């Protein structure tokens, strides 16, 4: 694993982007938001099992904007993102978040399929 070999710490981020999170932020309490709140923790448990320290972060709102702000604030060295999403044809090449995000950040973006 790249993170373990380089002694890196992972920052596992998920953006809750449904209606509730976009308009009510962390005060949103719908089923989708509750599911979103569990996601980073699941990844952190797996990272810890692999011997990689990890922190989690749940953001609320528009993914591209929130991830770009987070990358700058946290001074992220590398962003690793999945090349999938929820919008059919727009996700065929790089996903609906990856392509616009990679043009907004100075941080290298590694796309995993």
- Phi, psi of 73, deg, nearest 5: -60, -45
Q: Residue 4 — very low, low, confident or very high, per pLDDT cuts 50/70/90?
A: confident
Residues in Cβ contact with 36 at an 8 Å cutoff, skipping those fewer than 6 apart: 14, 16, 18, 21, 58
Write the pLDDT tens digit of every residue in 76-98: 999 998 876 555 544 544 457 88
- Rounded distance, CA 75 to CA 96, Å? 23
Write the pLDDT tens digit of every residue in 100-111: 898 999 999 998
- Given this model, what pLDDT does residue 93 score? 46
Question: Model's pTM, two decimal places?
Answer: 0.80
Which is more confident, 10 or 39? 10
Decide: helix, strand or coil at residue 56: strand
- Rounded distance, CA 110 to CA 113, Å? 10
């Amino acid at each position: 694993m790249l993170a373990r070999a380089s002694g890196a710490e992972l920052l596992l981020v998920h953006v809750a982007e449904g209606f509730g999170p976009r308009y009510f932020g962390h005060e949103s309490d719908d089923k989708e938001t509750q599911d979103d709140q569990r996601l980073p923790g699941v990844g952190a448990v797996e990272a810890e099992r692999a011997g990689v320290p990890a922190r989690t972060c749940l953001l609320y709102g528009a993914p591209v904007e929130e991830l770009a702000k987070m990358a700058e604030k946290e001074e992220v060295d590398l962003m690793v993102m999945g090349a999938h999403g929820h919008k059919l044809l727009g996700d065929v090449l790089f996903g609906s978040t990856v392509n616009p995000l990679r043009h907004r950040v100075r941080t290298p973006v590694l796309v995993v399929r």
